Amino acid sequence: MEADDLDFDIDAAPDHDEGARSAPHLHVVPDTEIDLVKAERAVADLLDALGVDRTADGLASTPRRVARAYAELLTPRPFRATTFDNDEGYDELVVARAIPFTSLCEHHLLPFTGVAHVGYLPDARLLGLSKLARVVDHFSRRLQVQERLTAQVANFIATTLQPKGVGVVLEAEHLCMSLRGVRSSGTRTVTSALKGLVRDDPRTRAEFLSLAGAQP
């Protein structure tokens, strides 16, 4: 899943945002088919391999539940990245703080959860406010590592909106870290991707990082 552009099916989309004064939009479709029956069988096999007695009370529906839970975590929700003319020439940062997200670590198939702080410095276009959260949600719903998720969110906004700068900070707790080996419960991993003036202009960079609640 290297080429992110492949995920975006431009102009092939049903309308999800009727009424929005939309301009160029990208609509995103899932690029994988999930075989729930096969997944359910595989979970049953896994439980058998782990020595779990699947006839025990409460376990009858576990393979089905697990298959569905993973399917949900791996199915991106389609959305339309609606943009608007920046009529008034708004030229300060737009920042959405503490967007909650859950993703799935590609090394252990365990969730990592946390918050994303996403901002941009507008140029000619503005992005619908709710879309910042939708972008995070979209890229979270696949097998991930936190660094790549951070970069994908930043790259998507940079490409779609062509703003003067983009900043993304993710803070997350990884269950694979909390539960195994180093039992570092509560440890949060912080990653960031800064682009354009958010990276290069010291004042904008400091302002973004301060709004994001991260250290400059």
By beta-carbon proximity to Zn ion, the closer residue of 58 and 181 is 181
- Is residue 121 classed exposed, middle or buried when 0-12, 13-18 and 19+ CB atoms within 10 A define those classes? buried
Residue 204, φ and ψ in degrees, nearest 5: -65, -40
Using CA atoms, how far apart are residues 94 and 132, in angstroms rounded to an integer? 10
Backbone torsion region of residue 4, taken as left when φ is above 0, otherwise alpha when ψ lies between -120 and 50, otherwise beta: alpha
By beta-carbon proximity to Zn ion, the closer residue of 94 and 176 is 176
Q: At closest approach, how far in Å is the CB of 143 from Zn ion?
A: 10
Contact between 173 and Zn ion per CB under 5 A: no
Contact between 116 and Zn ion per CB under 5 A: no
Q: At closest approach, how far in Å is the CB of 188 from Zn ion?
A: 14
Look up residue 156 and give its two tokens. Answer: 């998507």
Contact between 108 and Zn ion per CB under 5 A: yes
Residue 167, φ and ψ in degrees, nearest 5: -135, 135
Of positions 73, 176, 190, 214, contacts Zn ion by CB under 5 A: 176
Contact between 125 and Zn ion per CB under 5 A: no
How many other CB atoms are there within 10 angstroms of residue 174's CB atom?
23
Q: At closest approach, how far in Å is the CB of 102 from Zn ion?
A: 14
Contact between 107 and Zn ion per CB under 5 A: yes
Q: Which residue is nearest to Zn ion (CB)?
A: 176
Using CA atoms, how far apart are residues 202 and 82, in angstroms rounded to an integer? 30
Look up residue 176 and give its two tokens. Answer: 């694979």
Q: At closest approach, how far in Å is the CB of 138 from Zn ion?
A: 21
Contact between 105 and Zn ion per CB under 5 A: yes
Tell me the catalytic residues: 105-108, 146, 174, 176
CB under 5 A: which stretch of 4-12, 72-80, 103-111, 119-127 binds Zn ion? 103-111
Contact between 97 and Zn ion per CB under 5 A: no
- Residue type present at position 33: E
DSSP character for 140? H
Q: Which residues bind Zn ion (CB under 5 A)?
A: 105, 107-108, 176
